[in-house]
Amino acid sequence: MRLRGSNKWRFLGSQILVFVWSASAAFADAAPPFSPTNIFAPASTPAKAIFGLSLFVLAVTGVIFLVVFSLLLYSVVKFRKRKSDDGREPPQVYGSNQVELAWTIIPILIVVALFMATARVIASVQKAARPDNAIEVVAIGHQFWWEYRYPALGVVTANELHVPVSNDDHPAPTFIKLLSADTDHSFWVPRLAGKTDLIPNHPNSMWIDPHEPGIYLGQCAQYCGTQHAKMLLRVYVQQRAEFDGWIQQQRQPATVSNAVSQGQRIFETTACINCHTVAGTVANGHFGPDLTHLMSRDTIAAGAAMNTPENLQQWITNPDAIKPGSLMPAMQLSDQDLNALTAYLETLR
Amino acid sequence: MNAISTTLRPAELEWELPERGRVAMFALIAAEAAIFSIFVVAYLFYIGKSLSGPLPAEVLSPPFLYTICLLSSSLTIHFAAKRIRSANVRSFGAWWLLTIILGAIFLYGTASEWHRLIYEDGLTITTNLFGTTYYSLVGLHGFHVIVGLLGLTTVMVFTLFGTVKQEHAERIDVLSLYWHFVDAVWIVVFTVVYIIGR
Amino acid sequence: MSTESIAWPSTPVESRSFVDRLHEWIATVDHKRLGILYMIYALVFLMIAGIEATVIRIQLIRPHNDFVSPQVFNRLFTMHGTTMIFFVIMPFLFGFANYLMPLMIGARDMAFPRLNAFSFWMTAFGGLLLYFSVVGANGLYGAGNAPDVGWFAYAPLTSRTFSIGHSTDFWTLALLVSGVGSIGTAVNIIATVLCLRCPGMTLAKMPLFAWLNLVMAGLVILCVSPLTAAQMMLVIDRYLGGHFFDTQAGGSAVIWMHFFWVFGHPEVYVLVLPAFAFASEIIPVFSRKPIFGYPVMVGATVAIGFISMSVWAHHMFTVGMSSAANNFFVISTMAIAVPTGIKIFNWLATMWGGKIEFKTPMLFCIAFLFQFLVAGLTGIMQGAAPFDWHLGNSYFVVAHFHYVIVGGILFCFFGAFYYWFPKMSGKMYSETLGKLHFWLFLIGFHLTFDFMHIPGLLGMPRRIYTYEPGRGWDTWNLIVTIGVFFQAAGILVFLGNLIWSYFRGKVAGNDPWDAWTLEWSTNSPPPVYNFASIPEVKSRRPLWDLKHPDDPDWEYE
Ligand code: HEA
Ligand code: HEA
Ligand code: CUA
Ligand SMILES: [Cu+2]
């Protein structure tokens, strides 16, 4: 019994150690402990600024907590009514101005300190200068998926944002303009920056400068309707050369191949083109994601499923199976047509 | 504090508290003022944000005459309340009636303005943001005038039947507080809609 | 001062038929009966909204669960939040204010008994309207059911484009109607406190309960009215084709947020002030000491009232405000820690040097102190705007506000139920069941809401009906869900205790706690007229004076 108890404590202790270790390891941009979306594992300047502030705030509130908690505990234990009580009322104390003054002034000082630390970080994030070589991205929130435009680079894509690595030698921050096509959304990739909302008629902006390549996850953080839960975010941070290559590839019009002309015909004669664009073809709908380079994406439907042929087929026949409530209707297609259509989509690299 | 508690006076003599009707009316007015301020803020916020016409400058002109009517009704109700305090019921009735008439004229003014806006200028609540905010704000005020008039008319009917006496002066005062409030709000609405908003 | 009173009407209860008695309750204008109606109403809705929470938690117990569909989930949290705020905590606090205020200030009823009844039925009607949406919102298009826009219903989700059918209409009308009821009650409370105090009870001698409820009522007047105005605009948009929040016609989504939070933030202090009021009555009695620093407590309350009206946009740190606006709302938000801290410290000082008796009401209040401390500090973390860019709309916020509302307010309400139950029913509750309730609920509370902070810090947003595995959220959500069942067990014990004690409890007597405020001087339950003769007071603790004629309070205050 005894042993088990102490084991448990040891386990808890080790858990705490892990937590502390991970918090410090976060400084070193190690793989995110616990979670790919841990806010204590920042990998970009704004997130780091927030991380610094949060440690300070946690420390201050932690100390307040310890002090007040101990006082409360002490008084509850010390001044409990004892068995040996004589039944008389304790001394009646009505108040004391000195004490009141003390516990008014000390909190005021703490609040001032907290405020100043906060104001500095607000300024450092919100007023950051924008270098000329910054990448400019427009992110448009749609009910349950993300549209990304790189106006200066002439690229339109969806759901998977690609940005270059930025470091002290080659700073290349990405500035994101946030718009909404319908309801409110919020862009939140915890390791890169705090969240900022996308609100119709109310353009916002934010910036990130990820220091390490990798895939950073997040998801929509403002309730936007039925499928708010599966409006996931993926940010691909790439080395500069890789990023430039990706841009090059995205600027190409869609590949057209005779082998799949059957599928293309189906695509262009069903409702698909009302909602989807495939650059270089007649499809230029804007209600759904741009499919020009569909196959260059790892996932479909804003991260709800991996981009595999089976998933694609299921998505087209019954989006609700993957993402109930998404705004893409189920397309009624014969198996043959479906196969041809998918074969066509498979060529959209 | 010491002084009060150690020497407690006989309660019957000096224990005086505010009158509940008056306190409640002030509380109600505070609530109404909060409602109006939200509508006023919305109006101010949306000035110049309409995506299509007609715009305020094209269709609105300040209704000075009706405004004077409404504002002077604050005076007449004040006189009426004074008369009832001094038990002069007939003169009270006269001033009271005048108040009602002035209020009704104001309402007529609003109605005719709306008629013109709707049928001649084609501005309805759905037309644009100006229409939405204008009809809501002015309509909310108009609604309060109507409620006030209903209250005033009820008192008038009782006066005609001779049931209103000097002892009701306090209640009359409370009702007139409401009417003053409705007038005061109009000054704000007028400034916002017809002066700032154009 | 007299402690005898006229007895309850002589007709024995049994001789009246059920219909008669029902009619008496429905047509009543008596503040005590209305108070009890409010409380029963709130308890019923607590069950309903609690069951909704339970379903939410079951759905979230593991990733990719499909216990309910996303549509149902969205309705659940909307109904849960709306019900809990407007039809559980608000009626609770109005119920207690109604029942206790006249008794505490030595009055025979509220200032406007009929307005009181009207307000109650408006609130009641509001709740019924909200739930009628479940069957009534299908409307012409067969779309919609219970509202699913979230409890703060951000535009443009509420516009007709995104919310077809009538579910949102039911939501907005329910809040409009109950808002009218709330304003009516607030007017009544203010008039009662200011105009009906018994002789000798100056403002400086009122129980703190009266002060806190006075400030609460003032806040209701100033904050529910903006909500009512905003709901009117929404109705104009939805029914008359207005464009207030219609982003397609140039309307603004952000202005709705401002309007809502201008209401929403003071509202949370409306909810918490009555909880403070209970703590301020219960803690002194069970520590056997007067409240420490009464004038400062009053000052802090008023300060909270004022400051709370200038902090609303701390709910909007992520909507992209200018850095100046962010700074302003950071400092005003944090400023509120000062008066709130003063309150905590004064309660602490009240216990200090006392003889604390751990009766059930006191247990709940002590737990409240610890938990409110934590909840306040997480509030401060969110108040640091950049930190909130992470925390906002994550489960950390959900944990924060349940910590305040459940750990603070609900605990105080339970304490108040136990404390005043003997007065209201004339019977003593079962201390054993009370303690069982306390411990079950305490364990459940901490399992649920302590561990809920962690997925928030690990990036889990709120209002998601399911989540991806591999994000490190699974274990925490499992623990959180387990906690709910302890809470439910606790609440069931509570209900059992109330019912059992009502029929089987020992007779309580007029003053079971040896307390000091006026309500304990009259019968339990109090007669219709409360006091046979209107009492007269000389100090804040009239019954102390009575019990200690050799050492009365008014010599010191
Ligand atoms: C009913 C209760 C209630 C109460 C009392 C509070 C109290 C506080 N709340 Fe909370 N809050 C809510 C209910 C409540 N809140 C709800 C319902 C929401 C979410 C709504 C939604 O989105 O659905 C919310 C959300 C919320 C947010 C928005 C988060 C977001 O959505 O992004 C913020 C941000 O600042 C915040 C802050 C605070 C602060 C600073 C306090 C302060 O009042 C706390 C003050 C207390 C203390 C600080 C502890 C005691 C003090 C001391 C011991 C003195 C020393 C301390 C210092 C000097 C720091 N709250
Ligand atoms: C007064 C306020 C209040 C209270 C008391 C509670 C109590 C609880 N809340 Fe609530 N909650 C809110 C106000 C409140 N909540 C608000 C405002 C929101 C935001 C909504 C939104 O986002 O729009 C929210 C959202 C919210 C969420 C987030 C949903 C989401 O974002 O997806 C969750 C998730 O865990 C949750 C859980 C709980 C739990 C487990 C309790 C528990 O404490 C409940 C305990 C009670 C019970 C378990 C009932 C017990 C009784 C029985 C079971 C008896 C059996 C029945 C009979 C005999 C008939 N709440
Ligand atoms: Cu988009 Cu939530
Ligand atoms: Cu708030």
Question: C22-547: what fold?
Answer: Cytochrome C Oxidase; Chain A (1.20.210)
Q: How many domains does the structure of chain B reveal?
A: 1
Q: Tell me if A186 sits within 8 A of C393, measured CB to CB.
A: yes
Distances (CA, A) of A273 to A145, A181, A256, A285: 18, 19, 16, 5
Whether A295 lines ligand 1, by a CB cut-off of 6 Å, is no
CB C316, CB C261: distance < 8 Å: yes
Determine which of C220, C221, C260, C294 to mutate to test the interface with B (most B C-beta atoms within 10 Å). Answer: C221
| Spatial separation of the C-alpha atoms in residues C90 and C273, rounded to whole Å | 11
Contacting residues of C for A110, CB less than 8 Å apart: 337
The average pLDDT across A268-296 equals 92
**B132 contacts in chain C (CB < 8 Å):** 236-237, 242-244
Residue C245 · residue C233 · CB < 8 Å: yes
Structure confidence by residue, pLDDT tens digits, A54-86: 999 999 999 999 999 999 999 999 999 888 888
Quick check: C377 and C341 in contact, CB under 8 A?
A: no
Residue B132 forms contact with C (CB below 8 Å): yes
**Quick one: tokens of A156?**
């339109």
Q: Which domains does chain A have, with CATH numbers?
A: 135-251 (2.60.40.420), 258-345 (2.60.40.420)
A300 lines ligand 3 (CB under 6 A): no
**For C248, nearest residue in chain B (alpha carbons):** B51
Helix, strand counts (H, E) of chain A: 9, 12
pLDDT at C551: 83
CA torsion through residues C438, C441, C447, C449, sign:
negative
Chain C closest CA to B30's CA: distance in Å?
7
Backbone dihedral region for residue C463 (phi beyond 0: left; psi -120 to 50: alpha; all else: beta): left
Atom of ligand 1 nearest to the CA of C150: 23
pLDDT of residue C202: 92
Contact partners for chain C, using 3 or more CB pairs closer than 8 A, are A, B
Q: Do A35 and C472 touch (CB under 8 A)?
A: yes
Joined tokens for residue C531: 């006091």
Q: Give the C-alpha distances (Å, rounded to integers) separating A294 from A325, A343, A347, C227.
A: 22, 12, 9, 46
Report CB contact under 8 Å: C290, A92: yes
Closest CA to C406 of C439, C375, C440: C375
Q: Which of C240, C251, C252 sits opposite B125 (nearest CB)?
A: C240
Q: How close, in Å, is residue C385 to chain A by CA atoms?
A: 7
What whole-number distance in Å separates Cα of residue B174 and Cα of residue B148? 12
Residues of C in contact with A119 (CB under 8 A): 327, 330
pLDDT for position C135: 76
For residue A5, is pLDDT > 60?
no
Query: Which pLDDT score, from 0 to 100, does residue C555 have?
Result: 79
The Cα A47–Cα A52 span in angstroms is 9
Residues contacting residue A154 through CB under 8 Å, at least 6 positions apart: A251
Mean pLDDT, rounded, for A166-194: 94
Output the tens digit of pLDDT for each of chain B's 198 residues. 333 333 444 445 478 889 999 999 999 999 999 999 999 999 999 998 888 888 898 899 899 999 999 999 999 999 999 999 998 899 999 999 999 999 999 999 999 999 999 999 999 999 999 999 999 999 999 999 999 999 999 999 999 998 888 889 999 999 999 999 999 999 999 999 999 988
pLDDT 10s digits, C303-361: 999 999 999 999 999 999 999 999 999 999 999 999 999 999 999 999 999 999 999 99
Question: Which DSSP symbol is given to B9?
Answer: P
Reading chain C (557 residues) residue by residue, the pLDDT tens digits are: 334 443 344 444 556 788 988 998 998 999 999 999 999 999 999 999 999 999 999 999 999 999 999 999 999 999 999 999 999 999 999 999 999 999 999 999 999 999 999 999 999 999 999 998 887 766 545 455 889 999 999 989 999 889 888 889 999 999 999 999 999 999 999 999 999 999 999 999 999 999 999 999 999 999 999 999 999 999 999 999 999 999 988 899 999 999 999 999 999 999 999 999 999 999 999 999 999 999 999 999 999 999 999 999 999 999 999 999 999 999 999 999 999 999 999 999 999 999 999 999 999 999 999 999 999 999 999 999 999 999 999 999 999 999 999 999 999 999 999 999 999 999 999 999 999 999 999 999 999 999 999 999 999 999 999 999 999 999 999 999 999 999 999 999 999 999 999 999 999 989 999 999 999 999 989 999 999 888 999 889 999 988 888 888 887 77
Contact assessment for residue C177 and residue C85, using Cβ atoms and an 8 Å cutoff:
no
Taking a contact as any Cβ pair under 8 Å apart, which residues of chain A between 111 and 150 contact chain C?
Answer: 111, 114-115, 117-119, 121-123, 125-127
A101: left (phi > 0), else alpha (psi -120 to 50), else beta?
Answer: alpha
Which band of pLDDT confidence, cut at 50, 70 and 90, is reported for residue A310? very high
Handedness of CA C530, C535, C541, C544 (dihedral sign): negative
Closest-CA residue of C relative to A205 is C320
Cβ A223 under 6 angstroms from ligand 3: yes
Residue B128's domain comprises 19-196
Residues in chain A closer than 8 A to C392 (CB atoms)? 195, 221
Residue B4 lies in a domain: no
Query: Is the CB of B143 inside 8 Å of chain C's CB atoms?
Result: no
Beta-strand ranges (E) seen in C313-366 are: none
* Residue B171 within a domain: yes
Which residue out of A53, A54, A64, A110 has the highest number of ligand 1 atoms within 8 Å of its CB and is therefore the one to mutate? A64
Tokens standing for A264? 């293309």
CATH of the domain at B158: 1.20.120.80
Q: Please list every residue in chain C whose beta carbon sits closer than 8 Å to the beta carbon of residue B126.
A: 240-243
Give phi and psi for A156, each to the nearest 5.
Answer: -125, 130
Q: Atom 45, ligand 2: which residue's CA is nearest?
A: C50
Q: What's the start-to-end Cα distance of chain B, in Å?
A: 55
Instruction: Write the pLDDT tens digit of every residue in A256-266.
Output: 788 888 999 99
Residues, CB-to-ion distance under 5 Å, ligand 4: C 265
d(CA C160, CA C149) in angstroms, rounded, equals 12
Pull the structure tokens for residue A153.
């680079």
The domains of chain C are located at 22-547
The tokens for C539 are 């100090």
